[in-house]
Amino acid sequence: MAESAPVNPHIPSASNPSWSAVSRLVRLKNQTGTWLLLLPTIWSLVLAARGIPPWQLILIFSLGSFVMRSAGVALNDLADCSFDRRVARTQDRPLASGALSPTHALLVLTLLLTLAIILLLLLNPLTQLLSPIALLLAILYPFAKRVIHVPQAVLGIAFGWGTIMAWTASRGTIDLPVWFIFAATVCWAVGYDTIYALQDTEDDQRIGVKSSALFFGSSVWLAVGVSVTAMVVLLGIAGWLMQIGWLFYGMLAAVSLFCLRQALTLRRPILPAQAFHMFQQHVWVGFAILAGLLGGFLL
């Protein structure tokens, strides 16, 4: 008979979950994903308002981004529990390690989705009508890596849908510029999440999980470069359609240079810690674009 795995006394039992386990489930100490979800929605609000959007919408979408990102990672961990146990970076996640049971994770998820519905009720009917698509995309993403060679595109579509909802919340219509913001968000996510996926290429290949980092292989630097270039071009078109000022284009040029430097760095192998740091830097890319948008309208 095989010996049972030793019990780690530092990991709480799933039948008696701790606040620490719940906070790790929703990545409370690491809000990079929340910022990457929130910032494109703020871009959309600023463009739709041609300047500073109503503070109520900023607050609703800020809280909504935190809630939905938390729900998204909980869904991801529920779907990927068996994979996470076999990947060095994720084997200590609360579901994979046994610190939290699937039942408790589902309770947390239910609470988060209830909060999302409450926030949604504060928005107009068209935005409410679009919300089930956001939930569907959040559910589909964890399973995309089993089927699609570039699951990062599905993540981008899920994150990008927030830009559509932000625009309709502001204007009550779906206009041409927002589709360019949406497409730019998809391209941006493919770029930064490909960098993120470089942390797990060996484990992903061993267990059969698909990712853009594996799919593009030695050409990953080119894929990232093309993705962020497309993002910049699409945002430029959105700004042009909204008749934004020249400062925005200057900021896009600066962002292009920074992302080009990142892409060139990827021409040689990098350590997982370096990949994670480069991924985190995209939060500042998002803030730079936001600053350009505000400057383009206000200065």
HSE of 248, CA atoms in CB hemisphere, 13 A: 25
DSSP state letters, 12-80: PPTTS--HHHHHHHTTTT--HHHHHHHHHHHHHHHHHHTSSPPHHHHHHHHHHHHHHHHHHHHHHHHHH
Q: Is residue 18 part of a domain?
A: no
Contact 249, 236 (CB under 8 A): yes
CATH of the domain at 138: 1.10.357.140
Can you give the pTM of this predicted structure? 0.92
Q: Is residue 240 part of a domain?
A: yes
Instruction: Tell me how many domains the chain contains.
Output: 1
* Structural domain harbouring 176: 31-298
Q: Is residue 290 part of a domain?
A: yes
Q: How many residues does the chain have?
A: 299
| CB within 8 Å of 169: residues ≥ 6 apart | 45, 57, 60, 61, 123, 124, 127
Cα–Cα distance measured from residue 31 to residue 41, given in angstroms and rounded to the nearest whole number? 16
Q: Is residue 10 part of a domain?
A: no
Q: Is residue 79 part of a domain?
A: yes
Q: Is residue 276 part of a domain?
A: yes
**Can you give the pLDDT at residue 2?**
37
* ∠ Cα 78 1 91 (to 5°): 25
Q: Is residue 1 part of a domain?
A: no
Tokens representing 155 are 């993540």
In a structure prediction context, what are the per-residue pLDDT tens digits for the chain, which is 299 residues long? 333 334 444 444 455 668 899 999 999 999 999 999 999 999 999 999 999 999 999 999 999 999 999 999 999 999 888 888 888 888 889 998 888 999 999 999 999 999 999 999 999 999 999 999 999 999 999 899 889 999 999 999 999 999 999 999 999 999 999 999 999 999 999 999 999 999 988 888 888 889 999 999 999 999 999 999 999 999 999 999 999 999 999 999 999 999 999 999 999 999 999 999 999 999 999 999 999 999 999 98
**Can you give the pLDDT at residue 15?**
54
Q: Is residue 236 part of a domain?
A: yes
